[in-house]
Amino acid sequence: MSQFSVTKNGLVARVTLTNADKHNAFDDVLIAGLTKVFDELAVDDNVRVIVLQSEGKSFSAGADLNWMKRMATYSHEENFNDAMALAGLLKSINFNPKPVIGKVQGAAFGGGVGLVACCDIAIASEYASFCLSEVKLGLTPATISPYVVAAMGQQAARRYFLTAERFKVEEALRLGLVHEVVSADALDSKVDEIIDTLLKNSPAAMAAGKDLIFAVDRPVTSDVIEDTASRIADIRSSEEGQEGLTSFLEKRKPRWLENYEGEGA
């Protein structure tokens, strides 16, 4: 039985966790499958936006218990390789050149919080909640930590990594882990609204803008300054850059909107 599904509608791909009976917990098989999907979507020219979502009451409970039982018998090398596979999935989502929207309808625990943190835009239902529960099991949220700390900040991580407290969606919003909270009934329409907003933008410029964020997230040195100047020169002289500026000056729609009629869900 598959633990996820992928659907494409127009310019939008939806990756849906479908193992609701297990609260969309993940194991090595799911991790491998999702990594392959996100790597393929990264180079799919027909897809401009990716939505990561799930079925059922929970967004994701993190690691599957049966998988964790197997890991307890692994050698250090086997555990390292297993952890690197999850790290590969998180990297594929976080650094995907396409905008990734996280649609969070319910609880996210452990690695599920990592999935949310790797999304570019996270929209959550009023019923969502979060918990970095690893220390209760004698573990740490090591693999997801770079993304969670980047999303919610070091000071918040120092509390929730250590206490394993469950916190409500309002706290996640305050910390920056999610970008917006809406009622459960409005979750679909809000995600569609964000999709429509993204589809009006230059695909190449969004990819470059996303890469730019990671490139400048460090002390401002002469190398950083020269890199940013080079990046804007590259995109100004690119095909979409030229088209965007020309269409603006000519008061017409850019070519990437010619066939766009508001594809959402």
pLDDT more than 70, % of the chain: 97
Q: What is the pLDDT of residue 204?
A: 95
Query: Are residues 179 and 213 located together in one domain of the fold?
Result: no
Of the chain, the end-to-end C-alpha distance in Å amounts to: 25
Q: What is the pLDDT of residue 262?
A: 61
Over range 235-239, report the average pLDDT.
85
Q: What is the pLDDT of residue 144?
A: 94
In the chain, DSSP finds a helix count (H) and a strand count (E) of 11, 9
Query: Are residues 36 and 131 located together in one domain of the fold?
Result: yes
Report how far residue 56's alpha carbon sits from residue 23's, in angstroms, rounded to the nearest whole number. 7
* Domain interval for residue 120: 4-198
CATH number at residue 36: 3.90.226.10
CATH number at residue 228: 1.10.12.10
Report how far residue 119's alpha carbon sits from residue 177's, in angstroms, rounded to the nearest whole number. 10
Decide if pLDDT at 1 tops 70. no
Q: What is the pLDDT of residue 65?
A: 83
Decide if pLDDT at 260 tops 70. no
Task: Select from 151, 172, 198 the last residue of a domain.
Answer: 198
Query: Are residues 76 and 161 located together in one domain of the fold?
Result: yes
Q: What is the pLDDT of residue 165?
A: 98
Instruction: Name the CA dihedral angle for 106, 109, 114, 118, rounded to a multiple of 10 degrees.
Output: 0
Mean pLDDT of the chain: 92
The verdict on residue 142 lying in a domain is yes
Among 53-57, 213-217, 225-229, name the one with the lowest average pLDDT: 225-229
* pTM score, whole prediction: 0.90
183-202 tens-digit pLDDT: 999 999 999 999 999 999 99
Query: Are residues 62 and 86 located together in one domain of the fold?
Result: yes
> Would you call 120 exposed, middle or buried from its count of C-beta atoms within 10 A (0-12, 13-18, 19+)?
buried
Q: What is the pLDDT of residue 218?
A: 83
Q: What is the pLDDT of residue 130?
A: 98
The verdict on residue 264 lying in a domain is no
The verdict on residue 129 lying in a domain is yes
Decide if pLDDT at 264 tops 60. no
Using CA atoms, how far residue 115 sits from 67, 108, 173, 203, 238, in Å, is 18, 9, 16, 23, 33
Q: What is the pLDDT of residue 244?
A: 85
Of 68-77, 86-95, 247-256, where does the model show the most confidence? 86-95
The verdict on residue 265 lying in a domain is no
C-beta contacts of 234-239 below 8 A and 24+ residues apart:
234/208, 235/204, 235/205, 235/208, 238/204, 239/204
144-196 tens-digit pLDDT: 999 999 999 999 999 999 999 999 999 999 999 999 999 999 999 999 999 99
Task: Select from 155, 175, 198 the last residue of a domain.
Answer: 198
Q: What is the pLDDT of residue 259?
A: 66
Among residues 88, 67, 90, the alpha carbon closest in space to that of 139 is found at 67
Q: What is the pLDDT of residue 265?
A: 42
